[in-house]
Amino acid sequence: MPEHTRPARGMRDFLPEDVRRRDYVIAVIRDVYQRYGFEPLETPALENIETLMGKYGEEGNKLIFKVLRRGEHEAAGGVDLALRYDLTVPLARVVAEHRGRLPRFFKRYQIQPVWRADRPARGRFREFYQCDVDAIGSRSPVVEAEVCAAVTDVLRALGFTDFVIRLNDRGVLTGLLDAAGVPPDQHAAALVALDKMDKIGPDGVQRELERRGIVSPALGATFSDLAALGDGQADRRAANRAAVDRLRDRLKSQADAAAHVETLARIVALAEATSAGEHVKVDATLARGLSYYTGAIMEIAVADLAGSLGGGGRYDGLIGMFLGEDIPACGFSLGLERILVVMTERGMFPPGIERAAADAMVTLFEGEPIEDALRLAADLRARGIRVETYPEPAKLGRQFKYAADRGIGCALIVGADERARREVTVKDLDTGEQGSVPRDAVAEQLMSRARRAPGPRV
Amino acid sequence: MPEHTRPARGMRDFLPEDVRRRDYVIAVIRDVYQRYGFEPLETPALENIETLMGKYGEEGNKLIFKVLRRGEHEAAGGVDLALRYDLTVPLARVVAEHRGRLPRFFKRYQIQPVWRADRPARGRFREFYQCDVDAIGSRSPVVEAEVCAAVTDVLRALGFTDFVIRLNDRGVLTGLLDAAGVPPDQHAAALVALDKMDKIGPDGVQRELERRGIVSPALGATFSDLAALGDGQADRRAANRAAVDRLRDRLKSQADAAAHVETLARIVALAEATSAGEHVKVDATLARGLSYYTGAIMEIAVADLAGSLGGGGRYDGLIGMFLGEDIPACGFSLGLERILVVMTERGMFPPGIERAAADAMVTLFEGEPIEDALRLAADLRARGIRVETYPEPAKLGRQFKYAADRGIGCALIVGADERARREVTVKDLDTGEQGSVPRDAVAEQLMSRARRAPGPRV
């Protein structure tokens, strides 16, 4: 009775075509992030459990995969390790641990899987990749503008044109909640309700607020009003200016919140000097789920995806939990799986990405020295050509069909005749044409063939 | 009281310089494997626990990281998932699960971390990367020869010249044990003892055999004799021929084992037609730890490393445990960490790998419009240049020092004068020289600078 072969619940196997798509997107993301001076960081999949517990809220604690102690402790059922839940908390730990070895303004990218024991759903998996950029060490709004620009360049390089970077600020939200008479200890609950504005609408939010015991008649109206900020404006820049002016007016009597409005205005102005200018939209209803944000928050929306492609914000307090001294930080996380879902549905992958596993296949047949074929393969590979070898002697027709089925455009034959003439028969499996090529000229012919059919190397 | 910041025991954080080295090695491995027609595969970090248990022997079971059930089951302390322990068992599961979507001869590479709760030691971690190639579907010795050639090309591309691919066959070992009178149920224990030949010598092996209750006066002598197979031969090919002849002679009366000797001889002959020819060494004392091997086994030795850089072999029965029908398979696993240890100690990394995070840094200073600087950075990045932006206005000297400390060779200044003349001041931070460059010509100048200081792009 054979064993079960399915991957575990919510997990996926990535076959070659899947990996090529994933690697293509990751390569684009990495290239853009490097252009912004972000440097690579990797952290272990397993963290001490104390490092993760309590950082993601009550709901997060439940979704963390916990690892049993080993050896003599195993029977007691205790846990000591947990699987990485996001890339931000490990970054905060790393910055605290390696402070002396890192530059004052540490800018890192990190592209690694995280694990959450969420209920699996369309586009939601228990193992998924986050692609993060974070800039540590500065409170300057230049950081937010650059992070928005980097994310914009990534999405544009992948072929996205229609996305919106929704932009808000936690300090602005605090000011609005204060103004609406929501007591501070209800702010978190109110933000969770308001975060659903785009899903359930103003009436739904009002009911959700009441359900949570938040009785502020002004609040629902305030936010449905702010949701329409800048609507009807001719262009995005005018809309953003109108939105900022409206926030200025509403919050002018609250010094803290008013300062956050000015920072928001500055971020928008700086972003407009970059590629992000066409995509940034001030949206005072954006709330974001995580509790550690302290300033700007951002989220990327596209029309045909209910969730977001990614999000981020400023978190000036998180590193302090590890270091004992606050260090400002701001970052953005792109969700690889969400990006792949949209790109697949829209057919956004470049044609060359589905290319065959090899440029040519060397055939083997009974009675001929296999060593000759292997030598030919070795010579071609040394020239950088990707060569498959049919692993065992078989009828040539069968080998041609195998190569053609796999999309390999070219078969190479070294029989007794060819060997005597120091030649190779090159058969084009697309056209069926074949011809003799001097042994030394095969590599050049295959390379010019490959140049005619370019595709991204992944 | 700040929280602990160390990574978990046996785990490591990889700072940018570490990631660059790792990515360099991985890129070389991937490139070579692709030249052989291997295709990428990735599997989840978490597997159902039944998939892994019982595949790695008693010792392996203990070293598997096990994950607690979640939600209502958490309190009961049961486990349902486990962290990937190697890449071979998941491959066998994938081949059984996706058989219909995979080519008949499925050749895959897989470069992913695995986790083992081993006692940490020099070069031994609890999270480490394996870089595997496996060829599924053929019993032909061409497969072994090609796998040895692929691994050879990887190591040569990384700069290794002095490695030996030790080659043996489980069927040969079985024949030798039979001939020495060791009963079949003691073969596994005998192989564990014999596997230590290079560490403890013939006398040590003899004692180890006795300790395990294996009383074969002939056995120790047989193996110390075979360990010297081919010694004193002028060259490797002659040594291999001598070794094979000796095995032929010893095993000529045992049909099964004799067939394995002929396969071994064929693998050597085929490997000699490839780059592996200079490295393959028949070594009848090689045993390998894992129980699933059924034919050829290989292991890579270098003089200055006690363990091996990697190993592999043929395992024609493992996929059958999942599929219910045997499918032949053979593969090789390179250990990324072992390779990195040796390359670091020997200083084998190319000089360009330690390059700075950016090609140039745009400065910001008080009173000047930051937007201009961001626009310059955006234009240069659009041309593919890696540009850091100093995030906040500061004295220029301080900014120059920051860039120079980070190895960034060039600072860009857009002040009021420059702006008026549509120019940028380009300061070479290595020489201290600076000059004005027309705004439109900065990209070209930086690109020619980058061409003069090439390094691998990772």
Which residue ranges in chain A fall short of pLDDT 50?
Answer: 454, 456-458
The residue with tokens 């910041």 is B5
Q: Are B379 and A273 in contact (CB under 8 A)?
A: no
pLDDT for A206:
84
If you search the block for the tokens 């053609």, which residue do you land on? A404
Tens place of pLDDT for every residue, chain B, 458 residues?
577 899 999 999 999 999 999 999 999 999 999 999 999 999 999 999 999 998 887 778 889 999 999 877 777 778 999 999 999 999 999 999 999 999 999 999 999 999 999 988 877 899 999 999 999 999 999 999 999 999 999 999 999 999 999 999 999 999 999 998 999 999 888 888 887 777 787 788 888 888 888 888 778 778 777 777 766 677 889 999 999 999 999 999 999 999 999 999 999 999 999 999 999 999 988 988 777 899 999 999 998 887 899 999 999 999 999 999 999 999 999 999 999 999 999 999 998 887 889 999 999 988 888 999 999 999 999 999 999 999 999 999 999 999 999 999 999 999 888 889 999 999 999 999 999 999 999 999 999 887 776 454 43
CB nearest to B127's CB, from A39, A46, A105: A46
Q: Which of chain B's residues have a Cβ under 8 Å away from the Cβ of A135?
A: 391
Q: CA B213 from chain center: how many Å?
A: 37
Nearest Cα residue to B96 out of B319, B420, B403, B422: B319
The angle that helices A336-346 and A16-35 make with each other, rounded to 10 degrees, is: 110
**Chain A residues with beta carbon closer than 8 angstroms to that of B104:** 402
Of B40, B104, B135, the CB nearest to A402: B104
> Cβ separation of A43 and B324 shorter than 8 Å?
no
Question: Do A114 and A92 contact (CB within 8 A), yes or no?
Answer: no
CA distance B133 to B147: 7
Three-state SS for B325? coil
Is B96 within 8 Å of A321 when comparing Cβ atoms?
Answer: no
The domain A356-452 having CATH identifier 3.40.50.800: the answer here is yes
Query: A357 and B79: CB-CB below 8 Å?
Result: no
Whether B385 sits inside 8 A of A35 (CB atoms) is yes
Q: Tell if the CB–CB gap between B270 and A44 is shorter than 8 Å.
A: no
Number of A to B CB contacts under 8 A, please give it: 330
The separation between the first and the last C-alpha atoms of chain B, rounded to the nearest angstrom, is 39
- Joined tokens for residue B101: 């979507």
A1, B324: Cβ pair inside 8 Å? yes
Q: In what order do the strands lie in the sheet with B434-438?
A: B387-389, B360-362, B410-413, B423-428, B434-438
Distance CA A99, CA A260 (A): 29
Closest alpha carbon to A150 in A39, A37, A236, A240:
A37
Which chain B residues touch A316 with a CB distance below 8 Å? Answer: none
Quote the pLDDT of residue B457.
44
Q: For residue A215, count CB atoms less than 10 angstroms from its CB and return exposed for 0-12, middle for 13-18, buried for 19 or more.
A: exposed
Return the CATH superfamily for domain B355-452.
Anticodon-binding domain (3.40.50.800)
**For residue B273, which residues of chain A lie inside 8 Å, CB to CB?**
370-372, 374-375, 378
> A203: number of CA atoms within 13 Å, CB side?
0
Concatenating the DSSP letter of every residue in B330-393 gives EEEEEEHHHHHHHHHHHT-S-GGGG--S-SEEE---TTS-HHHHHHHHHHHHHTT--EEE-SS-
Distance from CA of B247 to the nearest CA of A (A): 23
Predicted confidence at residue B231, as pLDDT, reads: 67
Q: Please, what is the angle between helix B217-227 and helix B236-251, to 10°?
A: 160
Q: Which residue has the tokens 């979507």?
A: B101
Per the CB < 8 Å rule, is B67 touching A70? Answer: no
CB contact under 8 A, A45 and B41: no
* Vertex B56: Cα angle to B208 and B289 (nearest 5): 35
Q: Are B63 and A54 in contact (CB under 8 A)?
A: no
Give domain B16-346's CATH superfamily.
Bira Bifunctional Protein; Domain 2 (3.30.930.10)
- Residue B371 is nearest to which of A51, A273, A361, comparing CB atoms? A273
Q: Can you list the alpha helix ranges (DSSP code H) found in B44-103? A: 49-52, 57-63, 88-97
**Distance between CA atoms of residues A94 and A40, nearest Å:** 13
- Using a CB-CB cut-off of 8 Å, the residues of chain B touching A107 are 357, 388
Contact call for A16 and B68, based on CB within 8 A: no
Chain A residue closest in CA terms to B391: A142
**Domain boundaries in chain A?**
16-346, 356-452
Flag if B70 and A117 touch (Cβ within 8 Å).
Answer: yes
Residue of B4, B115, B146 with shortest CB distance to A50: B4
Give the total residue count for chain B: 458
Give the alpha-carbon dihedral of A354, A355, A358, A364, to 10 degrees: 80
Instruction: Report CB contact under 8 Å: B66, A50.
Output: no
